[in-house]
Amino acid sequence: MLRFALLISLVAGGLQAASASVAALMPMPLKVESATGQLAIDGTFTAVAAACSDARMEAALSRLTARISRQTGIPMGIGQPADANRPTLRVECVAAGSALPALGEDESYTLDISADGARLKAATGAGTIHGLETFVQLIAPGADGFQVPAIHLEDKPRFPWRGLMIDVSRHWMPLAVVERNLDAMAAVKLNVFHWHLSDDQGFRVESKRYPRLQQAGSDGRYYTQQQIREVVEYARNRGIRVVPEFDIPGHTQSWLAAYPDLASVPGPYTIGRTWGVYDPVMDPTIEATYQFLDAFIGEMAQLFPDPFFHIGGDEVNPKEWNQSARIKEFAQQHNLDGAHGLQAYFNQRIQKTLEKYGKTMIGWDEILHPDLPAAAIIQSWRGAKSLADAAAKGHRGILSSGYYLDHLEPASQHYSVDPLAGPAADLTPQQAALILGGEACMWAEYVSSETVDSRIWPRMAAIAERFWSPKDLTDVNSMYARMEAVSRTLEWTGVEHRANYGPMLDRLTGGQPAEPVRILADASQGLGLGPRARARKYTSLIPLNRFVDAVRPESESVRRLELAAARFLASHEAGDGALLREQFTRWAANDALFQPLAEGNALLAELKPLSKDLSILGGMGLKILDYLGGSQPAPADWISAQNQELTRIQRPNVEVTLAAFRPVRVLLDELARKGR
């Protein structure tokens, strides 16, 4: 009887371990069946590729072992030779797949784990790379050390194009930033790195054919061709395609600083230092423009092996074309419909060049025009409608509208955006099949190499799930719980979205760790591109080292308090009440500790009113809890005064929002309801 009971509890323990590990999976696999038992992960861990072993697979397995070793602290892969007959993890694939990651290749895999070992099977190398990432996410500490749960898992992506775009023009992103983000991308099964390599503020690639591009257009900050090859190989090893973007004919002031003869209006030009849409654009009427771009694209086509080549095409300012009698006359002679017709003419010429070099055009949705060849892919950023319009006209498309990471929206908002929803829902199945997936965009006006990771991750993981996992996976609380779990493991891949938070806050206080600043930061959320642009005149020369740059786009701790507040109202759990009271007390006391730090400190001085408001929120929260728990009703005029105060406090200040207002708002609304 005793033995039977023990068995039951072990079984239950095994299932618990499985569900705990599954709770950390992101993107959620298509099908997960938990079994009983677990596989120990210890110093004997070995991973072997039984079929389709090639250099890429061997490199993936050795990265895997190093990562598990780093996670568990157990030395691995050193000393003892791998027992190829009884590996912990056996990887098999039917075929290695294409040497370069390719759009539409079979990325599916299955993973079977029992106490005896794990087996990962895939059709191609791409599938095995994804399966290895799932295996790592399943590793968790158990009663007897690290383990993975027994499980049967079948998985494949919903969309074949799952991307992240990083702008390296507005702020320079050194190679290490790119590579660590590629590691994190692989961890959540993204497969396209869209590299926004040129814009008004910088031209970031070495051209041997036109060296003034990097000499006059980059402030000396650009990637050499050797570095580009290194990144392409780094990405290939992780199953990620690299799609370069050279934005033309607008967003080209850095090109024009180097080659002013390409401009519609005579120069000279200098590289841009401010943000927005500039007047200067390339001249689409002169043959010199096309000769230059032919030679340039020919050179870049060699450097970037992916068959897709992004020509930008967004926000082409028509001003100079409309003001030029010469350009207008050209448009009339060629029967072109104004500026949009001129851009369509330009795109048709560029399309022929791309075709010559074996590339397919992709561009932002402004390139959509009746004359655009059907093969061109449309990247929809101004709204989901252009995606559906493009598909209705026979173009393949990807969605970026709704996935702008630089707007610093909550993960839940991005998660609710689906490439096949909205106007795309009315497409025929054939048209809908043209929608390849999506890309999140990290524009770099308000990020530096120090802050960019924290503006991409962990929210990117939630978007990656939208691109990979079934459409009906929409539970926001589950998403947040798994995103927060994955956020921690992502840091072990090398990305620094959490690592820089503490040091940046310490720097604000002159290098001293200061808890009151951290409490204020934990309660705050940074504002995105639009509100920041309205708050202050920025240029590329202004350092991004203020409080707003350190604080996160979304506060995990405030979200937890908001949930605790809702639960407290629903069920009056003492634990939730205590948690709220403890946090409100800390906020209430924080300002008295913060103000002395801010004396004589210019970086902290601007935060004085914010800090005061946090303490007001703390005091208000405590008082509301008192009213909710007591027998005295709150006076109506008191509630009304708090409402006004809360409305004031929730307005952004010093480019951040005091997210801490949210749990207080939940409680105050309930108090107001009770009072009625």
CB of 188 to ligand ACM, least distance (A): 23
Our finding on whether 259 is near ligand ACM (CB under 6 A) is no
Cα-Cα-Cα-Cα dihedral sign, residues 558, 563, 568, 569: positive
CB of 450 to ligand ACM, least distance (A): 23
DSSP per-residue codes, 64-91: HHHHHHHHH----SSSSPP-TTS-SEEE
Tell me the sheet residues that pair with 656: 526, 653
CB of 438 to ligand ACM, least distance (A): 14
* Unique residue bearing structure tokens 């008192």: 626
Q: DSSP 3-state assignment of 615?
A: helix
CA–CA dist 558, 312 (Å, integer): 38
Residue burial 655-676, b: 16+ Cβ < 10 Å; e: rest = bbbbbbbbbbbbbbbbbbeeee
Q: Which is nearer to ligand ACM, 407 or 662 (CB)?
A: 407
Q: Where are the alpha helices (DSSP H) in 457-497?
A: 459-468, 476-491
**Cβ-based neighbours of 165, under 8 Å, separated by 6 or more:** 194, 195, 196, 245, 400, 439, 440, 441, 442
Q: Which is nearer to ligand ACM, 163 or 239 (CB)?
A: 163
Q: Which is nearer to ligand ACM, 192 or 523 (CB)?
A: 192
CA–CA distance from 293 to each of 299, 350, 354 (Å)? 10, 8, 10
Q: Where are the alpha helices (DSSP H) in 545-660?
A: 547-550, 556-571, 574-598, 602-605, 608-629, 636-649
Q: Does 27 sit behind a cis peptide bond, omega within 30 degrees of 0 on the bond before it?
A: yes
CB of 319 to ligand ACM, least distance (A): 17
**Which residue has the closest beta carbon to ligand ACM?**
314
> Which residues participate in catalysis according to the annotation?
315
CA–CA dist 56, 73 (Å, integer): 25
CA–CA dist 381, 147 (Å, integer): 43
Q: Which is nearer to ligand ACM, 278 or 381 (CB)?
A: 381
Q: DSSP 3-state assignment of 580?
A: helix
Strand-strand pairing, 397-399 and 435-442: parallel
Q: Which is nearer to ligand ACM, 193 or 381 (CB)?
A: 381
User: At residue 530, what are phi and psi to the nearest 5 degrees?
Assistant: -60, -60
Of all residues in the chain, what percent are helix, strand and coil, respectively (each to 5)?
50, 15, 35
Strand-strand pairing, 524-526 and 109-114: unpaired
Residues 315-344 that bind ligand ACM (CB under 6 A): 315
Q: Which is nearer to ligand ACM, 444 or 624 (CB)?
A: 444
CA–CA dist 112, 109 (Å, integer): 10
How many Å separate Cα 132 from the centre of its chain?
21
CA–CA dist 295, 666 (Å, integer): 61
Read off the tokens for 43: 């110093």
CB of 315 to ligand ACM, least distance (A): 5
Our finding on whether 364 is near ligand ACM (CB under 6 A) is yes
Read off the tokens for 107: 């990325």
CB of 257 to ligand ACM, least distance (A): 20
CB of 314 to ligand ACM, least distance (A): 4
Q: Which is nearer to ligand ACM, 380 or 524 (CB)?
A: 380
Q: Which is nearer to ligand ACM, 203 or 381 (CB)?
A: 381
CB of 302 to ligand ACM, least distance (A): 26
CB of 617 to ligand ACM, least distance (A): 35
Tell me the sheet residues that pair with 34: 151
Q: Residues 296-315 vs ligand ACM: string with x where CB under 6 A?
A: ------------------xx
Q: Which is nearer to ligand ACM, 127 or 363 (CB)?
A: 363
Report the 10 Å Cβ neighbour count for 16: 13
By CB under 6 A, the count of residues binding ligand ACM is: 4
CA–CA dist 533, 664 (Å, integer): 29
Our finding on whether 406 is near ligand ACM (CB under 6 A) is no
Helices (H) and strands (E) in the chain, counts: 27, 18
User: At residue 500, what are phi and psi to the nearest 5 degrees?
Assistant: -85, -10
Are 661 and 617 contacting, i.e. CB atoms less than 8 angstroms apart?
Answer: yes
Greatest Cα pair distance, the chain, in angstroms, is 96
Q: Which is nearer to ligand ACM, 314 or 465 (CB)?
A: 314
* Unique residue bearing structure tokens 């995103």: 483
- Identify residue 593 by its one-letter amino acid code: L
Q: Residues 427-446 vs ligand ACM: string with x where CB under 6 A?
A: --------------------
Q: Which is nearer to ligand ACM, 314 or 389 (CB)?
A: 314
CB of 540 to ligand ACM, least distance (A): 17
Our finding on whether 381 is near ligand ACM (CB under 6 A) is yes
CB of 467 to ligand ACM, least distance (A): 19
Binding site for ligand ACM (CB under 6 A): 314-315, 364, 381
